[in-house]
Structure 1
């Protein structure tokens, strides 16, 4: 059984050791089928530095993220509640494959830091060590044509895979994870 957690985050900056997560969205995919999706908007770690440029990219304001009714610990508890419905953190053979777009270089370190900040040092009980990264898969797929692409952002990769996009919705974590999943299955179709 293949269990994939497609996920995306929006953060208060680019450095996982000093910035925090304010939106965490995901799709629980088991054997190619969506069994659950979630969109957790939460106040970031109270110690997190908030960079206005990062908020601008995500299309949110300080006031918006400060008004989220969910705090960091409650956001973590919401996530773990979802994860525990689909995997047993006590079974070494039952884990999620994490999958995102450029998640190895960006999202994964933030997610691991988020678990640690919430007092959970057992990140590896939920997830396999090596993530699936759609950006890496796309690099292989577009190896001979990449030099002709304007950039290698999620939107550009999706467009080159003939996936319809709403540019206004990009940088909303739930929308981005939906596009990421579509890209994944274009690059790695279920046989």
Structure 2
């Protein structure tokens, strides 16, 4: 049984050791089927540095993220309640594959730090160590015609794969994870 957690984060900056997560969205995919999706909007770690440029990219303001109804720990508990429906953290053979777009270099370190900040040192009990990264799969797919792409952003890759986009919705974590999942299945079709 293949269990994939497609996910995306919106953060208060680019450095996982000093910025925090304010939106965590995901799609629980089991054997190629969506079984649940979620969109957790939370106040970031109270110690997180907030970069206004990062908030502008995500289309939110300080006031918005400060008004979110749940704090970081409640956001973590919400995520764990979802994960625990589908995997047992006590079973070493039952874990999610994490999958995102450029997640190896950005989202994965933020998510791991988020677990640690919430007092959970058992990130590896939920997820396999080797996550899937759609940007890597796309790099292989576009190996011979990479120069045709103006950049290698999610939107550019998706459009090159003939996935229709709403550019106004980009940088909303739930929208981005939906597009990431579509890209994944274009690059790795289920047989």
**Structure 1 length normalisation: TM-score?**
1.00
Q: Match of 2:153?
A: 153
Residues 1:122 and 2:122 aligned together: yes
Q: Match of 2:8?
A: 8
2: CA distance, partners of 1:97 / 1:18: 26
Runs of 4+ more than 3 Å apart = none
RMSD between superposed Cα atoms in Å: 0.3
2: CA distance, partners of 1:150 / 1:2: 34
5 Å-filtered alignment, 1:126-137, equals 126-137=126-137
Q: Match of 1:99?
A: 99
1: CA distance, partners of 2:33 / 2:134: 18
2: CA distance, partners of 1:2 / 1:17: 31
5+ long unaligned stretches in structure 2: none
Q: Match of 1:70?
A: 70
Alpha-carbon displacement from aligned partner over 1:127-155 (angstroms, at most 9, x marks no partner): 00000000000000001111121100000
5 Å-filtered alignment, 1:38-53, equals 38-53=38-53
2: CA distance, partners of 1:147 / 1:49: 37
5 Å-filtered alignment, 1:75-86, equals 75-86=75-86
Residue aligned with 1:186, SS: helix
2: CA distance, partners of 1:160 / 1:145: 11
How many residue pairs get aligned? The number is 191
